């Protein structure tokens, strides 16, 4: 783990009209690590991720990336820094093949025509770098892929663009046991390749299987961010449900989030 987090959020506040969703949230992610972001429904996880990704502007607080304070105004700003988000719906087009999906909106051209050879070579190299062996052909339509293969393609698409931080929203939510194991192995490999990975999950077994750190949100506040090895399943459940576990967590748990 590097000393300086690739991402560090300090005192993040975000509201929508009269509803205050995030209250002085602190969060960090390091290169080469998986940081799990957990919390009950309504804890503020989705809003925080959209603030990281530039979809929502923050009302107050500091956004630091790679040691420098930055201003985030749009998803384009986040992408320029190297932030990629893989949402739960994956945003893949069933009628396009793997290569077409990976380069959708960022196609390579040779003059006026698409440079299919370069795109296929880059896609193959990216999948090989992630040790993906479950895809038979890069020209398979996404509609023919399994859930685990679709998730793999979406993750490969995210890391194709020299990303530094990859956020994965419930990547195993709709997968069976074998496919879940494959995707978790891929998540771990991303971190081992030097990326910072943020994993959003409700599955505590997945969280403890692959994460190095865990950040727990409770009613829009950071209850705690701890090393995974320093917390138990029971303590984490208490942090998620009440914001506190023994001497760990929030001193007060008043407030609300949506």
Q: In 3D, which of 70, 86, 88, 85 has the Cα closest to residue 7?
A: 70
Q: Model pTM?
A: 0.90
**pLDDT at position 256:** 42
DSSP bridge pairs for 64: 8, 69
Q: What is the pLDDT of residues 159-198, one digit of tens each?
A: 888 899 999 999 998 888 888 998 999 999 999 999 999 9
List of residues 6+ apart from 110 with CB closer than 8 A = 118
**pLDDT at position 18:** 94
Contact status, residue 8 vs residue 37, Cβ threshold 8 Å? no
**pLDDT at position 258:** 38
Q: Give me the sheet containing 7-16, strands edge to edge.
A: 19-29, 7-16, 60-65, 68-70
**pLDDT at position 255:** 46
Spans in the chain with pLDDT lower than 50 = 1, 253-258
**pLDDT at position 2:** 52
**pLDDT at position 35:** 98
Domains, the chain, in order of start with CATH, read 7-82+163-249 (3.40.50.300)
Q: Helices 177-192 and 147-159 meet at what angle, rounded to 10?
A: 10
DSSP bridge pairs for 195: none
């Amino acid at each position: 783990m590097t000393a300086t987090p690739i991402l560090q959020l300090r005192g993040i506040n975000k509201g929508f009209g009269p509803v205050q969703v995030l209250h002085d949230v602190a969060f960090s992610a390091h290169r080469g690590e998986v940081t799990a972001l957990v919390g009950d429904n309504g804890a503020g996880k989705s809003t925080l991720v959209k603030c990281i990704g530039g979809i929502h502007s923050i009302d107050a607080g500091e956004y630091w990336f790679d040691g420098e304070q930055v201003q985030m105004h749009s998803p384009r700003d986040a992408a320029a820094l190297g932030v990629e988000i893989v949402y739960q719906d994956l945003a893949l087009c069933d009628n396009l093949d793997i290569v077409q999906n990976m380069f959708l909106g960022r196609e390579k051209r040779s003059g006026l025509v698409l440079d299919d050879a370069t795109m296929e070579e880059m896609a193959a190299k990216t999948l090989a770098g992630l040790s993906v062996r479950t895809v038979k052909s890069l020209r398979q339509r996404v509609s023919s892929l399994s859930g685990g293969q679709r998730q793999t393609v979406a993750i490969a698409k995210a890391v194709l663009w020299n990303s530094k931080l990859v956020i994965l929203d419930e990547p195993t939510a709709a997968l069976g046991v074998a496919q879940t194991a494959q995707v978790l192995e891929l998540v771990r490999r991303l971190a081992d390749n030097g990326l910072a990975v943020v994993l959003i999950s409700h599955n505590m077994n997945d969280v403890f299987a692959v994460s190095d750190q865990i950040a727990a949100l409770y009613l829009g506040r950071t209850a705690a961010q701890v090393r995974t090895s320093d917390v138990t399943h029971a303590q984490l459940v208490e942090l998620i449900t009440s914001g506190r576990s023994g001497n760990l967590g929030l001193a007060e748990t008043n407030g609300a989030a949506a």
